[in-house]
Amino acid sequence: MHSVAKAGCDLGFIALNTDAFGTAKVISIDYAVMEKAAHAAVVPVVVGCRPTTPLGVQNPETLTAAG
């Protein structure tokens, strides 16, 4: 909440305070947002992009389910 309280405006967009944002706890979006949302929805979508692979992986087909 501190990053929102200290937010500014940049080209018409809300710009969160970088220092305050860096102090936020690292928690999942499920806990941080979805569990507290009174009106939320999940919408299935298909986007035209390739899945990402870990840095340094030359052949993603060789990855196992464990990574």
pLDDT digits (tens, 9 = 90+) for 26-64: 888 788 878 888 888 888 888 776 666 666 666 656 656
Report if residue 65 sits inside a domain: no
In the chain, what is the greatest distance between 2 CA atoms, to the nearest angstrom? 46
38: which DSSP letter?
Answer: S
Q: What is the pLDDT of residue 19?
A: 85
Strands (E), 1-67: 8-10, 13-15
Number of domains present in the structure of the chain: 1
Report if residue 58 sits inside a domain: no
Token pair 């340094």: residue: 56
Residue 14 CB partners (closer than 8 Å, separation 6+): 7, 8
- Taking the CA atoms of 63, 64, 65 and 67 in sequence, report the sign of the dihedral they define: negative
Q: Specify the pTM.
A: 0.37
* Domain span at 15: 1-44
Q: What is the pLDDT of residue 35?
A: 84
